[in-house]
Amino acid sequence: MSVGLVLTLNGKDRPGMVSVLSEVVSKHSATWVESRFINLGGRFAGGAHVDVDESKAEALAADLKALSQPETFLVLVDLMDETADEGSTLLLELMGPDRVGIIHDMSKALAGISVSIDELVSETVEASMGGGETFFVQLSLSVPEDVEEEDVVSVLETALPEFMIDVIEDEEE
> What domains lie within the chain, and their CATH numbers?
2-79 (3.30.70.260), 88-168 (3.30.70.260)
pLDDT at 88: 93
pLDDT along the chain (173 residues), means of 10: 95 90 96 94 94 96 93 90 78 96 98 96 86 93 96 98 92 53
The one-letter code for the residue type at 141 is L
pLDDT for residue 85: 64
**Per-residue pLDDT at 84:** 54
Write down the pTM of the prediction: 0.80
List, in sequence order, every beta strand (DSSP E) within the chain: 2-12, 31-40, 43-53, 73-79, 88-97, 116-126, 133-143, 164-168
